[in-house]
Amino acid sequence: MRGFTSKEACSSAAASAAPGTRTVARRLATRARAKGGHDDKKTLLAARGANRRVGVRSAECGAIANPTIAGKDVGPKDAPLKSLFPEEPKKPAPGSPKVKVAIVGGGLAGLSTAVELLDQGHEVDIYEARPWYGGKVASYKDRDGNHIEMGLHVFFGCYFNLFRLMAKTGGLNNLLLKDHTHTFCNEDGDVRELDFRFFLNDTKIGAPFHGLKAFFTTPQLSVADKAANALALGTSPIVRALVDPEGGMEDIRKLDDISFTDWFTSKGGSMGSIERMWNPIAYALGFIDCNDISARCMLTIFQFFATKTDASVLRMLAGSPNDYLTKPIVEYVEKKGGRIHLKTGCREILYDTDEKTGKTVVNGLRIGGTKVVQADAYVAALDVPGAKKLIPQPWKDSMKQFGDIEKLVGVPVITVQLRYDNWVTEMQVENSKGKEARGIDNLLYSADADFSCFADLALVSPWDYYKEGEGSLMQCVITPPQKGAVSGRNYFKMPKEEIVKYTDEQVRKLFPSARKSKLLWSSVVKIAQSLYKEEPGLDVFRPDQKTPIDNFFLAGSYTKQDYIDSMEGATLSGRLCASKIVDEAGKLAQASKIESEVANA
């Protein structure tokens, strides 16, 4: 019936420790809120400590706490590949040229670009179309004070660039460590783990052995599927990556033309593993299934999981993305003199093309209605639909790098929040102490629902989402929303009430405790084009951050970088973009014609 089969004794310790400590954390956090939000630092810090204790207890019973995630310790030595963690920029020499940079887009990529440029002493303005910053990782409060998120965000242990950014801007302690397991929820409370916790005589056993242990012991796959899995992954570039990570990645890049299903089954992998394990993971990574996702995308992640012990550990924000992820970054930008202009979308890129040389130079951005702003360098830190719309058609027609962007598409996704009066993931877990109730404080996957990944925000991110007297706040990511993974329903066309009805029905199908619970509140966020669709053959069309136009650059998770479309990819793209601007600063300053911001009628 149920999971947690490996290490019952360990589950028992976690079960007895976690709810207790969580309750303390919740009470303290609630008290802090009651005392006027987040101003009562002492109480909040106490809550923070209580939450950390959940991680500490978990570590004692086998989950891997990552002691290197502590600001100063995050560095290239931890990154799986050189290409994933650019060198730290050198301190600018006195008198080195400074440039003024206009960044369009206030998502993580735009913010990351801004932080890097400001740290190098350059001047930055960010122009964001929406009334809030953060892009796809944004959240805002509705009229009743509920935090509405663009999507459920999970942090893998290999987010070295994002951890570096969060450490720099003071937000790293806002991440809560989860048990080192990946949890699959099947119908009727049948929860099964892929358990990376591996200790022999109290010695932590790391990569690749913890991964092998996880895959060979998981009850989510049959013995036959495990054997087929071993055959397929055992002949993959991951094996090369174990001794030669850069070489392994080279081989993985070559697998962009084939879907994960085609590659995996050609190597002897079974459809059983695809259906019960890899599809939910593919949906969580790229919002598409294994038939649609490229083998490169999946194997990139597997490589990190296989070669770095803590790459597969999950962390989640202590509260809403706005308060605990983007706000510290924005405050850092503003403290360093950067300016963020919200509700200030860029309508048009203004440029001149020399008829003789064919050379194009950007000379301004049309912002809002009629205002024009000028800078030495311009960055489009946009999502795929935003970039397609803003980049001038003549550029797409004449410069391949811009034309290629038209070949990329965004995938739709729907995020549903459901607030219950009870703890819906609470399970009767049987272990050496008997039966006890346990809520699941981690990211959850399911092959039995139209939402393939989800979490109880009241447990995983309690500082904003735990509410005294109420229960779970399930945040469910419906992928693919045009043909629900299990039901085939077209959610995108449905009104909100119907989406909520079907999502709630499926929560009840998965968790028996949900069947006794009352749905109190719900919200639905639809994004028609979110991540770029990582289907076979498209990686080659991702544009570099440097473009054929000397004073125009690109950033964004969809641009060329060795990570998948993600928060880490967006942050990395910002670092790459900033370093390319810094490299060109002398030329850009010399070529600059701007004197001040001009307003044109």
**Residue 304 is a binding residue for ligand FAD (CB under 6 A):** no
**Residue 373 is a binding residue for ligand FAD (CB under 6 A):** no
**Residue 157 is a binding residue for ligand FAD (CB under 6 A):** no
- CA 367 to CA 390: how far, in whole Å? 12
Q: How far is the CB of 154 from ligand FAD (least distance, A)?
A: 4
* Residue from the set 108, 114, 255, 375 that interacts with ligand FAD by CB under 6 A: 108
* 371-373 vs 154-156, strand pairing mode: unpaired
> The tokens of 310 are what?
């803590």
Q: In DSSP terms, which residues pair with 434 in a beta bridge?
A: 431
Residue 139, SS3? strand
Cβ atoms within 10 Å, residue 118 = 20
CA dist 80 to 327, 409, 496, 564, Å? 29, 28, 42, 14
* Residue from the set 14, 118, 152, 424 that interacts with ligand FAD by CB under 6 A: 152
- Nearer of residues 198 and 558 to ligand FAD, judged by Cβ: 558
* Residue from the set 3, 19, 269, 386 that interacts with ligand FAD by CB under 6 A: 386
**Residue 136 is a binding residue for ligand FAD (CB under 6 A):** yes
**Residue 107 is a binding residue for ligand FAD (CB under 6 A):** yes
- CA 197 to CA 204: how far, in whole Å? 8
- The answer to whether the beta carbons of residues 407 and 541 sit under 8 Å apart is yes
Q: In DSSP terms, which residues pair with 360 in a beta bridge?
A: 353
**Residue 197 is a binding residue for ligand FAD (CB under 6 A):** no
* 190-195 vs 199-200, strand pairing mode: unpaired
**Residue 319 is a binding residue for ligand FAD (CB under 6 A):** no
* Residue from the set 3, 55, 80, 151 that interacts with ligand FAD by CB under 6 A: 151
Q: How far is the CB of 226 from ligand FAD (least distance, A)?
A: 27
Over its C-alpha atoms, the chain yields an Rg (Å, rounded) of: 24
* Residue from the set 306, 382, 478, 538 that interacts with ligand FAD by CB under 6 A: 382
- Nearer of residues 221 and 527 to ligand FAD, judged by Cβ: 527
Binding track, positions 529-568, relative to ligand FAD; x by CB under 6 A = -xx------------------------xx-------xxxx
> The tokens of 234 are what?
């055992």
- Nearer of residues 149 and 195 to ligand FAD, judged by Cβ: 149
| Residue closest to 89 by CA, chosen among 580, 435, 482 | 580
**Residue 345 is a binding residue for ligand FAD (CB under 6 A):** yes
- CA 367 to CA 381: how far, in whole Å? 15
Which of the ranges 31-39, 46-54, 101-109, 222-230 carries the binding residues for ligand FAD, by CB under 6 A?
101-109
Q: How far is the CB of 414 from ligand FAD (least distance, A)?
A: 8
- The answer to whether the beta carbons of residues 149 and 475 sit under 8 Å apart is yes
- The answer to whether the beta carbons of residues 352 and 582 sit under 8 Å apart is no
Q: How far is the CB of 66 from ligand FAD (least distance, A)?
A: 17
Residues near ligand FAD, by CB under 6 A:
104-110, 127-130, 135-137, 150-154, 345-346, 381-383, 386, 390, 413, 415, 477, 527, 530-531, 556-557, 565-570
